[in-house]
Amino acid sequence: MADQDFQQGFVYTGLPTRVIFGFGTRARVGEELRRLGIQRPFVLLSPRRAPEAQALVAGHGIEIASVFTGAVMHTPVDVTNRALAIVEETRADGLIALGGGSTIGLGKAIALRTDLPQLVLPTTYSGSEMTPNLGETSEGRKKTVRSPKIQPEAVIYDVELTLSLPHALSATSGMNAIAHGVEGLYAQDRNPIISLMALEGIRALAECLPVVVDRPLDRTARATALYGAWLCGTVLGSVGMALHHKICHVLGGSFGLPHAETHTVILPHVVSFNAHTVDAELRPVTEILHSLGAGQGLFDLARRLKAPTALAEIGMLSGELDRAAALVMESPYYNPRQPTQEEIRVLLEDAFNGRRPAL
């Protein structure tokens, strides 16, 4: 692998985000806001966490411009416009997003339009906080935008914020993170530094997720999962993704399927589809998962985590598979093995039925 990289040469661009990682690190919000020059933050939170907004900034002489709790999955543009009007009206000078990928996504959508600085406190393993990418939905289509304005300036990983993540979502969100790492390994613009991060992230997540699911309050396992999610998020922000992310993008944006669950179901099938083309890149994943093939290993891990393994379980209708396959082919991403529409249709059918993928 390394020799091939050296022969071909590669480009590595480091992401500029400052990262604070640990337990109880949300106590450092005030310090980080000062560093970013934010005095009137617009705070994005889930409704359940809204009462915590004030405590985040208490004692730092910071006045919250407004608290917004309306973020939803797949970043619909009408929600962004609603939040944006409040940001402007309240003269916010920066953004705090505390939550999962949906809350973070809304913060990024606002930053894209205003270039306000962002401080992010992730509570899931989505990895969105580490990327300059944003998937926005309007009129039933999800479009990806990439801009340096979208990349959060600072991220506070506080492991304690993840202790409440329910075991089902911990499992699927963890598989979502693994998907970033796996597709990073065979990205068109892959490089050895990002591959190191991908493998370390996949290893961390594969080892700790069974513990997280069995004992959600295990602090070491939770820290390992968040560390793995950070690394895999960095992979997502640094190199291009492939067929797996394209399919999930279509299924989420055009069929409203839940993000992390969709990633969990689709990943083993795409990895199995790509396996022979990128055998060397995927071999370490097979070793990490102690399996005969990376696709089967990921499928078995999802089962071990009691996560969904069939699109039928998460809201897909069989009558929609043809349209989904056509949409995937409409503006295809790079993939190491070029699929035909018929092959995508077969892959979706297997994923729909929850079949264990072939080696």
Could you list the residues that contact ligand NAD (CB under 6 A)? 46, 73-75, 99-103, 105, 123-124, 126-128, 131, 133-135, 161-162, 164-165, 169, 173, 176, 236, 259-260
CA–CA distance, 233 with 128 (Å, rounded to integer): 6
Nearest to ligand NAD of 25, 123 (CB atom):
123
- How close are the terminal C-alpha atoms of the chain, in Å? 22
Give helix then strand counts, H and E, for the chain.
14, 8
Give the shortest CB-142-to-ligand NAD separation in angstroms. 8
Considering the complex, state which of residue 138 and residue 164 has its C-beta at the smaller distance from ligand NAD: 164
Query: Least distance to ligand NAD from the beta carbon of 125, Å?
Result: 7
Residue 216 CB partners (closer than 8 Å, separation 6+):
163, 165, 166, 167, 170, 222
CB of 17 to ligand NAD, least distance (A): 12
CA dist., res. 206 & res. 129, Å (int): 21
* Nearest CB to ligand NAD, comparing residues 96 and 260: 260
The strand pairing partners of 78, in sequence order, are none
Least separation in angstroms between residue 220's CB and ligand NAD is 17
* Helix residue spans in 256-338 (DSSP H): 259-274, 279-288, 294-304, 321-330
Please report how close the Cβ of residue 44 comes to ligand NAD at its closest, in angstroms: 11
Q: Which residues of 55-92 are buried (b: 16+ CB within 10 A; e: fewer)?
A: ebbeeeebebbbbbeebebbbbeebbeebbebbeeeeb
Q: Determine the Cα angle at 335 with ends 332 and 338, to 5°.
A: 80
Nearer Cβ to ligand NAD (126/309)? 126
Closest to ligand NAD by CB, 127 or 336: 127
| Minimum CB distance to ligand NAD, residue 55 (Å) | 16
Distances (CA, A) of 80 to 100, 143, 147, 297: 16, 14, 17, 39
State which residue, 232 or 275, has the beta carbon closest to ligand NAD.
Answer: 232
